[in-house]
Amino acid sequence: MNDGGCPFPGLQGDPNTRLAFASDGNHCHHADPVEPVALEHQNQTCLSGDHVRCPVYLRAGLASLPPELVLCPERHAPRMPGRARLAAGAVTAMMTTGIGMATTGAEAGAGAEPLPPPGPGCADRE
């Protein structure tokens, strides 16, 4: 389907299917990692002929979305590309498991920072 909008939005697991309206279901498949795009950007750019001015559409290769285009930037840590992200995630998981086993229930929540409140469109995410 090409109705004048960007060819890169699609469902997270299906880059060939996108919603015809702005939704947290539309993910940018010209990004690494693939992630949902800010609703305002979808309305003004992705789903219109103005997609030809999008910095993600214009770039040659895959990279993370600019922070201002991520649907819920406050929920995302800085991103690393591909294999580096996988390796870092594995190390973090191993360290977290070890730390979690070494703490008691009372200590586990001490000093933890709560997540910031979600932005528009983020209420049901993560």
pLDDT of residue 4: 78
What pLDDT was estimated at residue 124? 52
H helix runs in the chain, sequence order:
39-41, 55-58, 82-102, 105-108
Rounded to an integer, what distance in angstroms lies between the CA atom of residue 39 and that of residue 110?
36
Task: Note the pLDDT of residue 72.
Answer: 84
Q: Is-above-0.75 flag for pTM?
A: no
Which residue type is seen at 79? R
pLDDT in tens, 22-67: 999 999 999 999 999 999 999 999 999 999 999 999 999 999 999 9
Q: What's the chain's Rg over C-alpha atoms?
A: 18
| Higher pLDDT, residue 53 or 73 | 53
Question: How far from 25 is each of 95, 112, 118, 125, CA to CA, in Å?
Answer: 32, 30, 16, 11
Per residue, the 3-state secondary structure of 23-35, as one string, reads CCCCEECCCCCCE
Q: For residues 54 and 118, give the distance between their C-alpha atoms in angstroms, rounded to a whole number.
A: 25
Give the pLDDT of residue 39. 97
The residues, ordered by sequence, that sit 6+ positions from 16 with a Cβ below 8 Å of its Cβ are 10
The tokens describing 65, both together, are: 């979305």
CA distance 111 to 30: 38
